Structure 1
Amino acid sequence: MQTGFMLFYLITPILLQGCCIRKQQKKMTGVKRDATNQHFRAVEGELFMMPCIKSLKQPARTVWSRSGEDKNTNKDLTFDCGVKFVAKVNHSGKYTSLSGRSIITLQVVASISLRCFQPSEAKVTLRVHTGGEIYCPSHHCSNNSDTIWFKGNKAVSEQHRASCNDEGLLRLCQVYEEDTGLYFCDRQLMEEGIQWTYRRAVDVTVITHLEPSKCPQIKNPAANMTEEVELGQPHILTCEVFFDFEVDFLPKVQWFMNYGDNMENMTPLRMEEPQQKQETLEVLEVIQTAVIPEVMPQHLKNTFTCIAMNSVGNSSVTIELKQKTKVTWPPLVGYPFAAFLLVVLLGILLRVKWLEIQLMYRSHFQHGQHDGEKEFDVFLSFVWSPLSAEAPQGFTLPSRSGCDCNDEEHLMSKKLMRCDESKTAQKPLEVLLPHVLEVHWGYRLCLPERDLLPGGAYTNDVVLGIKRSRMLMCVLSADYLADSSAVFVLESGIQT
């Protein structure tokens, strides 16, 4: 018996190769040359493709549009040659090329009108690196002479490959991965003196093996994985599985909920329609999702299992759920933003309070020379207020000579000062301060009104006067800060 099988596998390739050598398909181009009036038939629900016309007067890629009275049934109906579409009954009619020199009459017939219609004939599966056969649909009940095979809109005979056409049966001497695609077989029929081309479609799929060689592989989720969920919110469980290709592929992927850790007490979950995707010629990916309408606390105590099965065996992955920790202030966003905001606020504060900050620094961290080399002890700066402006009428600033009097005169001035203490107590600060500092305390004052020579460069004199003094004393007030000259004195003293 084994010898018989060996002879069969050895003889079959030889016979197939002999067919390919003896009956090479007639050389026929995939485009019709100078065809001005053609008649095509298609089956409702099958894929169809308009032919391309090649001539000297119009390009090979043709656009067909509904012509004449047929426009009333379906306006602006056009088809590009070489583009597949599903044939419908309302597609029947006459079509002309853009140049108007070629006409195609399309007739779409219902599948129930065919004598031996088999939907399964529209799909064929071939195995790679072996010989393959593709039958034209309704092959056993039709006249298959003069049948021409196309892949897309190009004749198979033009593809420089070993093949033969045996009365509507396309034999491929060796199947390649590139042979996957849509094929058309055109039969020639003569009815009432009109030659019709009956075009049928066959979808060919090339596979590497007929049966899977291993169990499904679950790509996602990983084993013992934990997913974060929010209580009271819906949650979707997703299982991505890779299957080996097989004929009549029926993937089975399911989600189950296990009560506690008991794998025997499993309840199937409500699942969505699975999604399939062809990853490679050998591998199919299936994505199965299950929905938990509302996550409850008891869901956190259970586990969830995804099981995938094929004809070889099954694979499974079990995961757990845990409650998501709510973060009110995301650290990755909140902390940098808070730091940036703090820097901006500090910059604004420094900008507004810069003068006050410098004064505070100078008052706590004195620097510079504080010895007797300076000509003045204090550079006094103030601005007369509206009330104090009337005081100088009866009270004048002390003269520089008042500081150089003898002791007897100095004592006399103190007595006079004590006598007038009640009167001077009512004087404004701008009037009292120079007198007290110079007469009572003996400070050497530099008063801009008295000691700066008029007519000179005011700014230079102010800076020079400040440098010649041990300290700067400013009587700050609203009037002082509103006076530009007084503010200049203050800024010069800070910067000196």
Structure 2
Amino acid sequence: MPDFISILLFLSVVLGGDRPAVSQSSDQSEPMCYDWGESREGAVSVLEGEAGWLSCPLFSHPSVYNYSSTQSTGHNLFWYRLPVGHDLEQPIGYSNKSSCSKIAMRLEVLSRDQVASGPDCAVATAPSQVIIPLQEGKKLDCPDLQDAIKMADGGDLNVTWYHHCRQYERWNMDREQKGPSLLVHLMIDYYEGLYYCKVQYQRRGRLQQFSRSINVTAVNPPSLDKNPSIIHPGKDQVFSVKQGTEVRLTCTGLFPFLESPWEIWWTIDGKTVEQLADPHFSKINRLVSYNFGDRTEETVLVIKDFWAEDLKREYNCSLRNQKGSATRRAQLEEEGSLPSVELGCGLGVTLLLMLVLFTVYHVFWLELLLLYRSWFGTDERHTDDKEYDVYISYARNSEEEQFVLVTLRRVLENELGYSVCIFDRDSLPGGIITDETLSFVARSRRLLVVVSPDYASKGSQALLELKAGIDSMALDGHLRVILVQYRSVQRQGWVRELRRARLALALVRWQGDKSRELTSRFWKRLRVELPVHRVSKEGEACTRRLQSQDSTSSQTGLITKTAKDPQKVFNSVAVAAF
């Protein structure tokens, strides 16, 4: 079967009056016939398997042909068709009538594959357009429903409604099907879109059906202000122009929804571009946006080869709708010219300087930050009553313990001059662990948490320290928590407190041998998070000498002697620290 069947239907009205004929049969017994050709209204499309209607275009202009008066005078309307592949229409006897008029219209029968947008949304005709204001209501009637009622047996028919190809068994309180109509009681933006209605009825004992569609558009309610307004140019805006170039003056206006005409235009010395009829001026119009019926329109006045005389003209942007109008004058000033060489050199130097500064900051941002802190940072020892700079929380009896006691403690105390609190070293025997832990954390400025796979699995001491630090930071802000990742930890291995802290806290990663030198990124990054210390040069030198002697005599030698027994290493380090 072809995609569609195209048939020319000829409609003839046999008349008794005198009307000029454009064609006449050779048989003088047949009447003259005024042939209007094919109708300009376009083809009538009908979906395959559905009912359709054809209305004679001869009666579309009642002043020419009036159907009622034509019938009352005994004239008849005839239909006949020209099938596909035929050249001549089937003849019609005119019963001694003196003249006739005829017109052809095309009927296209479309298959469902051509027009189907869903299983229940195949429609051959263009959708009707319906506008409903927001927060208001309207009744939707299926198009051509009255024609179907006239042909249905007993006038009974069944109507089914769809929205976006979806059939609702029950509509909500805002939308309700009442009889063949669909009532929209309260319009919201979600109810926009295509509505489909399928009509079924019986005619002469045979089931007939057809489908139609309605495109529903939501618009802003009429209670809102409907006066147009100029968005651009602003009241005090000045357009910079340059002689010898093409100048574009842009005017943008907002038109609230109204079912009436609107206009936006430029005038030059009181004349529109059309009235001026000067090729030196032209305009470009476009739609910028459309929102619930409110449209933002733009018109651009194009001035070719702008010269000095154009500066003396008056340019006004105007707009108008049914509710009001607005006008705004465009202010122009000539753009001063800058020497191209000086401008290019200045721009090049500026870009080069910005590139150098960006590179320096990207490479040395840690050093710059530490330098800034040393000059302008506040020494927290002078502003609080804390006893310790750092409290270190770690997993006991693990590899991290050696890292804390040998590396972290030594560098923080001996090299950087911080007061460090380690619970196993600084707590008194016989005390309550919980109370002493909370006390140490409260007396420290920083809580340094050494994150490792064993952190959450070595008892509750480390978790107690972490929770105390996070609670103190959240309540009064006098303590900051620092996360040091000694070994990588899978995401699922982080306890709940660590997962929460990781979102807001900095994480400093230990990278083995790369991080051992005091000038490495690890120690610089850690110093940024630690409190600011200002130490005089003489005191700093003295402290370094003492710390160096202590580190060499007590720790290094002791660890070397007992390196074969890891448990002795831990015990020896702890004794040396005391």
Answer yes or no: same fold by TM over 0.5. Answer: no
Normalised-by-shorter TM-score class: 0.3 to 0.5
How high is the TM-score relative to the length of structure 1? 0.41
For CA contacts below 8 A with separation 6 or more, give which structure has more relative contact order.
Answer: 1
Pick the structure with greater CA Rg: 1
Q: TM-score, normalised by structure 2?
A: 0.35
